[in-house]
Amino acid sequence: MYLGRVVGTVVATRRVEGLEGARFLLVQPLDHAHRSTGPAEVAVDRVSASPGTLVLLEGSREAALACEPTFVPVDAAIVGLVDEVDV
Partner 1 sequence: MNLCRVLGTVVATEKLPIFEGRKLLVVQPLDELQQPQGKSYVAIDHTSCAGKGDVVLVMNEGGGVRMTLKEPAAPIRSLIVGVVDAVDVG
The single residue among 3, 6, 72, 76 that binds partner 1, judged by CB under 8 A, is 3
Determine the Cα–Cα distance for residues 60 and 76; give it in Å rounded to an integer: 6
Cis amide prior to 69 (ω within 30 degrees): yes
Stretch that binds partner 1, among 1-9, 11-19, 20-28 (CB under 8 A): 1-9
For residues 5 and 53, the answer to whether their CB atoms sit within 8 Å is yes
Count of residues interacting with partner 1 (CB under 8 A): 30
Considering beta carbons, is residue 14 or 84 the nearer one to partner 1?
84
Query: Binding of partner 1 at residue 32 (CB under 8 A)?
Result: yes
